[in-house]
Amino acid sequence: MGTKDLVLTSFWRSSCSWRVRIALAFKAVPHTLETIHLQRAGGEQFKDDYRAKNHMAQVPLLTINAGLLEDPVYLSQSMAILEFIEEEYPDPPLLPKKSLERAKVRQIAEIINSGIQPLQNSSTLKKIKSFDQDEQAWARFWIQDGLDNLERQLQGLRSTEFLVTDQPSIAECCLIPQLYGARRFGCNVSAWSRLLEVEERCLSFDAFQSSRPENQPDAEL
Amino acid sequence: MGTKDLVLTSFWRSSCSWRVRIALAFKAVPHTLETIHLQRAGGEQFKDDYRAKNHMAQVPLLTINAGLLEDPVYLSQSMAILEFIEEEYPDPPLLPKKSLERAKVRQIAEIINSGIQPLQNSSTLKKIKSFDQDEQAWARFWIQDGLDNLERQLQGLRSTEFLVTDQPSIAECCLIPQLYGARRFGCNVSAWSRLLEVEERCLSFDAFQSSRPENQPDAEL
């Protein structure tokens, strides 16, 4: 591919958008960034024209324009987008070559993607708040528990520079935004020595820096 | 591979275990099934010996014994397990060949895997119940909303036998268990004509039938 025209729809503080921003930057994939605002005017993602592209009304969304004669393809779900980018732009890789290592990368990514993030995203927190519960405490609970367990799991396997191998991967694309979320919700990050060590190594890459929320055109600081 | 010795740890009513049971049966992958009980004695998944293999204390877990001289690998997270099985046992495939179709399969799988299931799993429901809220209504809300949106998204694309192509895929491995959960929590499934049509086709395969909760050795009916 490479000739296809890609548009990423992103929101600066969305951790799932950030995952994809890292991958596109890491692989230097040419693309256009479009932003929508998840809170303004009740949430721009709920407007009809956006929902026609993504019925789940979420970011990120990758619009793939294959050519003038074909309809664009709208691809949602950050994990599906990350795998698509990996298949179409394999170099530099974000998945190892060895099958068991690839499996471990996906395992860690999914611990975050399905085990933590869905419980702290904005629609879940809105629902928790409607119960007159402290939605910040709820988010903090799930992130703390999930990353505590991930840290314990990784403690036995400290011999690599990054989570699974000596290179960053899709797992780090998920971890770095989740650590940002952990701090935002007031988690105690101090016990996560392995996660913080990997985070520090990641943040030495331009791709992990340029993709940060505060470096986005729609950032509100 | 194929010579590796695989053990699947499963619980009959776990939808994520069911996903993996479908894939193993569909590809006729030789394996041993072990069961643990997620409710009995406070949950067998919280016992130290299980947590040593899977700190997240969840099912499914795939234990991969590569040989007498190597330590077993413990692989959790159903999506990572499904991708691993697909890579190691590619025939018959559960992912299409074309990159955009693969992406669409993963998108649908993730709408269920990260968009719905985490909000209705047992640990989330336990926490909701601790708020004196109706945890069944909470689960029903998220499943109804998620599958309503998925149905709408698929309505434009009705030309294939299954969700993305004319063959079942990882997306159907996720859909069929989620529809079972939808009925269990009392969702209104009647509007999901496309999902039900695909479900009926899936259930004509032995792999989708033999893997059903009620056909498991640990089923409690």
What pLDDT, on the 0 to 100 scale, is given for residue A1?
A: 45
Choose one of A92, A109, A130: the last residue of a domain: A92
pLDDT at residue B69, as a whole number = 67
Per-residue confidence at A158, pLDDT binned at 50, 70, 90? Answer: low
**pLDDT tens for each residue of A85-114:** 999 999 999 999 999 999 999 999 999 999
Q: What is the mean pLDDT of residues A38-56?
A: 87
Higher pLDDT, A76 or A157: A76
CB contact under 8 A, A153 and B124: no
- The dihedral of CA B44, B46, B50, B55: what is its sign? positive
Residue in B with minimal Cα distance to A120: B119
CA A57 – CA A44 distance, rounded (Å):
9
**Is A40's pLDDT higher than 90?**
no
Per the prediction, chain A carries an average pLDDT of 94
pLDDT-based confidence at residue A66 (cuts at 50, 70, 90): confident
Are residues B105 and B43 both part of a single domain? Answer: no
B140, B188: one domain: yes
B56 touches chain A (CB under 8 A): yes
Kindly state whether residues A85 and A151 are assigned to the same domain. Answer: no
Nearest to A76 by CA among A176, A7, A178: A7
Q: What percent of chain A has pLDDT over 90?
A: 83
First and final C-alpha spacing in chain A: 37
Q: What is the CATH number of the domain that holds B165?
A: 1.20.1050.10
What is the DSSP track for B137-203?
Answer: HHHHHHHHHHHHHHHHHHHTTTTSSSSSSSS--HHHHHHHHHHHHHHHTT---TT-HHHHHHHHHHT
CB contact under 8 A, A114 and B111: no
Query: What is the average pLDDT across A159-186?
Result: 97
Residues B107 and B199 in one domain: yes
Structure tokens at B98: 């074309």
Token readout for B141 is 């809300």
Number of domains in chain B: 2
**Residue B132 domain-assigned?**
yes
Residue where a domain stops, chosen among A72, A92, A112: A92
Could you tell me if residue A122 is inside a domain? yes
**B contact residues 59-98, partner A, Cβ 8 Å cutoff:** 64, 73, 75-81, 83-84, 87-88
User: What pLDDT is attached to residue B4?
Assistant: 66
Residue A215 in any domain: the answer is no
C-alpha dist (Å) from residue A179 to A151, A183, A197, A200, B45: 12, 6, 12, 11, 26
Same domain membership, residue A195 and residue A106 = yes
**A55 at the B interface (CB within 8 A)?**
yes
Domain with B76, as residue range(s), is: 5-92
Per-residue model confidence as pLDDT tens digits over B115-152: 999 999 999 999 999 999 999 999 999 999 999 999 99
Chain B closest-CA separation from residue A211 CA (Å): 23
Whether residues B112 and B63 fall in one domain: no
State which of B92, B109, B136 marks the end of a domain. B92
Token couple for A187: 């988690």
Report the C-alpha gap between B182 and B190 in whole angstroms. 11
**Among the listed ranges A77-81, A143-147, B2-6, which one has the minimum average pLDDT value?**
B2-6
Range from A1-10, A48-57, B128-137, B155-164 that averages highest in pLDDT: B128-137
- Give the angle subtended at the CA of A8 by the CAs of A111 and A69, to the nearest 5°: 125
pLDDT recorded at residue A71: 86
A11 falls within a domain:
yes
What Cα–Cα distance (Å) separates residue A173 from each residue in A113, A115, A140?
Answer: 10, 15, 21
- Sheet of A5-10: strand order equals A32-35, A5-10, A61-65, A73-76
- Given CA atoms B140, B143, B145, B151 in this order, what sign does their dihedral have? negative
Contact residues on chain B for A79, CB-CB shorter than 8 A = 79, 106, 110, 114
Residue B115 has its nearest CB partner, among A99, A118, A146, at A118
Measured between CA atoms, the residue of chain B closest to residue A145 is B56
Region A79-85: mean pLDDT is 98
Do B10 and B108 reside in the same domain of the chain?
A: no
Question: What's the pTM value of the predicted model, to 2 decimals?
Answer: 0.96
In a domain, A110, yes or no: yes
Predicted local distance difference test score (pLDDT) of residue A4: 66
pLDDT at position A2 over 50: no
Query: Which residues of chain B are modeled with pLDDT < 50?
Result: 1-2
CB contact (8 A) between residue A109 and residue B80: yes
Residue-level pLDDT at B155: 87
State the CB neighbour count (10 A cutoff) for residue B214: 11
Q: Is the dihedral of CA A156, A159, A162, A164 positive or negative?
A: negative
Task: Give me the residues of B, 99-128, that contact A with CB < 8 A.
Answer: 99-100, 102-104, 106-107, 109-111, 113-115, 117-119, 124, 127
User: How far A55 CA lies from chain B's nearest CA (Å)?
Assistant: 5
ipTM of the complex: 0.96
Cross-chain Cβ contact B113/A117 below 8 Å:
no
- The span from the CA of B28 to the CA of B4, in Å, is 14
Q: How far apart are the first and last CA of chain B?
A: 37
- Tokens 């890579």 belong to B87
Tell me whether residue B170 is in a domain: yes
Mean pLDDT for the stretch of residues A160-179: 98
> In this structure, is residue A214 part of a structural domain?
no
Distance, CA of B21 to chain centre: 8
Place of tokens 């708020």: B131
The C-alpha of B153 sits at a distance from chain A's nearest C-alpha, in angstroms, of 6
A residues 183..202 contacting B (CB < 8 A): none
Percent of chain A clearing pLDDT 70 (strictly above)? 97
B87 with B123, same domain: the answer is: no
Least confident of A47-56, A166-175, A182-191, B88-97: A47-56
* pLDDT at res. B1: 45
Residue B61 CB neighbours (<10 A): 25
| Nearest CA-CA distance, residue B198 and chain A, Å | 19
Contact call for B56 and A114, based on CB within 8 A: no
- Cβ of B102 within 8 Å of Cβ of A117? The answer is no
CATH of the domain at A22: 3.40.30.10
- Chain A residues closer than 8 Å to B117 by CB: 114
CB within 8 Å of chain B, chain A residues 129-148:
131, 133, 138, 141, 146
Same structural domain, A59 and A84:
yes
Q: State how far the Cα of B68 lies from the Cα of B64, in Å rounded to an integer.
A: 12
The answer to whether position B23 is within a domain reads: yes
**A85 and A125 together in one domain:** no
**Does residue A52 sit at the B interface (CB-CB below 8 Å)?**
no
Check B55 against A153: CB less than 8 A apart. Answer: yes
Tell whether B115 and B49 lie within a shared domain.
no
Residues in chain A: 221
Contact call for A153 and B83, based on CB within 8 A: no
**A111: which chain B residues are within 8 Å (Cβ-Cβ)?**
56, 76-77
User: Which burial class, exposed, middle or buried, applies to B196 when counting CB atoms under 10 A from its CB (0-12, 13-18, 19+)?
Assistant: middle
d(CA B193, CA A58): 24
> Are residues A120 and A88 located together in one domain of the fold?
no
A164 interaction partners in chain B (CB closer than 8 Å)? none
| Closest residue on chain A to B114 (Cα) | A114
The residue written with tokens 């799993």 in the block is B121
